[in-house]
Structure 1
Amino acid sequence: MTDTTIAPTINEKARAALGRRNLVFVGLMGAGKSAIGRLVAQSLSIPFIDTDAEIEKVSRMTIPELFSTYGETEFRALETRVIERLLRGGPRVVSTGGGAFINENTRQQIKLSSVSVWLKADLDVLWDRVNKRDNRPLLKTENPKQTLENLMVQRYPIYAEADLTVLSGNVRKDVMVNEVLSIVAGLNEPSGTALSNEGELQ
């Protein structure tokens, strides 16, 4: 008798491995968290939330306006509260702002309820993506590229605490999405949990 069982797709394997947990993207500005997160959510058929967009919705202010009006400390406190609320409603794919995972309280909340994926990119890739837009409050300095490099030095050791790491570079979005789905699908397998790809999101 022929076995007509259809092998599960990579999407189905990733969804099963995730279970009721959220999938949270962390990393610096320009790493592709929102673009890739939205497509991964579509592939998994679960909701997508961008925390910066959610913060802007609840505050009725843009991120630059929040930074300008209240300062970074108050912004981070709001960010922590919003993310804590969002993580209760899993499973969903969540894209976080660059500083979210740096906050210890937020980081612990993510670790308790979610699988975290660090989209890791090198300086030139990040700079190429962020220098075309004037909406990054932390880069409003005399030497924004040096500021970005300083953020990498400060934050990369903390991002490294994420459950999974995928390199973000000069490749198409669909390739990146497949990388993420593959690594999530492999959570229940004994193989390593860090995939890498070099390239840029097109």
Structure 2
Amino acid sequence: MGPLLSEPESEQAARLRQRLGTRSIVLVGMMGAGKSSIGKRLARRLGMHFADADTEIEQAAGMTIPEIFAAHGEPAFRDGEKRVIARLLENGPIILATGGGAYMNPETREAIALHGISVWLKAELDVLLRRVKRRDDRPLLKAGDPAAILARLIDERYPTYADAHVTVMSHDLPHEVMADAVMSAVERHLDTADADPSGDPPHAG
């Protein structure tokens, strides 16, 4: 994990970073939702550190994620993922991109809620499928038809992702535009939380 080159600070970025205080922004969602690419852009906008949980896991294990899955299985990977995310959040504030299954772990959700603001980058199946086809390092897609696997994962995960503080639709737009959408959605969440701590999480199109 390290700092990214920051951009000239906008008024919105300065205001949002101040309002975040010690809290991180944690991007959750499916593989192909754009968490890493949007997260890097967001970190540059805010002048914050960026971390990709999958990259951190690989560095800690000295193995790639497909190698971890093959050698130790998914349960061992998930346990390591939980510990790495907890460590990253304790050393925040950061912009954190999580793996697709990370938010399904109750302990990880609790850690994110304690240390940060969760942002679900929600994408439609066709968008996800088009994006994941560009890469061959997705262990969960090796077991059959990618479209069928993604559809099953959507059914399993989207109800839990919906518990995130903020939802932003992940469209095929420039990363700068998506970073702006995340920043605005997080600000709206903070406005709502300040006005009514029991209010429902805001959503953005």
- What 5-or-longer segments of structure 2 have no aligned partner? 1-9, 196-200
User: Bigger CA drift: 124-133 or 14-23?
Assistant: 14-23
C-alpha distance in 1, partners of 2:34/2:115?
A: 22
C-alpha distance in 2, partners of 1:38/1:133?
A: 19
* Contact 1:15 1:185 survives alignment (8 Å): no
Query: 1:19 maps to what in 2?
Result: 21
Query: 1:95 maps to what in 2?
Result: 97
Q: CA deviation at 1:167?
A: 0.1
* Contact 1:17 1:187 survives alignment (8 Å): no
Over the matched positions of the two proteins, sequence identity in percent amounts to 47
**2:175 aligned with 1:193, yes or no?**
no
Q: Secondary structure at the match of 1:189?
A: helix
- What 5-or-longer segments of structure 1 have no aligned partner? 1-7, 197-202
Map of 1:49-198 to 2, 5 A cutoff? 49-190=51-192, 193-196=202-205
**Structure of greater Rg:** 1
* Contact 2:43 2:95 survives alignment (8 Å): yes
Q: CA deviation at 1:182?
A: 1.1
TM-score (norm 1): 0.90
Query: 2:33 maps to what in 1?
Result: 31
Deviations along 1:75-125, one digit per CA (max 9) or x if unpaired, are 000000111111101111100000000011111111111100000000000
C-alpha distance in 2, partners of 1:62/1:188?
A: 37
Root mean square deviation, CA, Å: 1.4
Deviations along 1:48-95, one digit per CA (max 9) or x if unpaired, are 000000000010100000000000000000000111111101111100
* Contact 1:27 1:33 survives alignment (8 Å): yes
TM-score (norm 2): 0.89
C-alpha distance in 2, partners of 1:109/1:188?
A: 19
